Amino acid sequence: MRQRLVNERLKRNLTQKQVAGILDISEVYVRKIEKGVRNPGRETMQKFEQLYGVSDRKLFPELFQVSIDTDCIEMI
């Protein structure tokens, strides 16, 4: 669950349906994004960022994490 995203919505006393209407996306999509089941596209991330006044990196931190793979493939 993307807790920061949910908290920002609740802080403004908005329902998922209201957020969907404001952002012009479906309520189901808002629910899936908040649960972390779906990842928003860049345009949708920017809409959330503008609505809540919080950077996309704070709303969706896991999408910006850098993962360094330290496993090596053994040379044959």
pLDDT given at position 55? 95
Q: Are 56 and 44 in contact (CB under 8 A)?
A: no
Mean pLDDT of residues grouped by 10 in the chain (76 residues)? 96 98 98 97 97 96 78 61
Please give the Cα distance from 52 to 71 (Å, whole number): 39
pLDDT given at position 76? 57
User: What is the CATH topology of the domain spanning 3-63?
Assistant: 434 Repressor (Amino-terminal Domain) (1.10.260)
Please give the Cα distance from 42 to 21 (Å, whole number): 18
Boundaries of every domain in the chain: 3-63
pLDDT given at position 66? 72
pLDDT given at position 65? 83
pLDDT given at position 75? 59
pLDDT given at position 44? 97
pLDDT given at position 70? 66
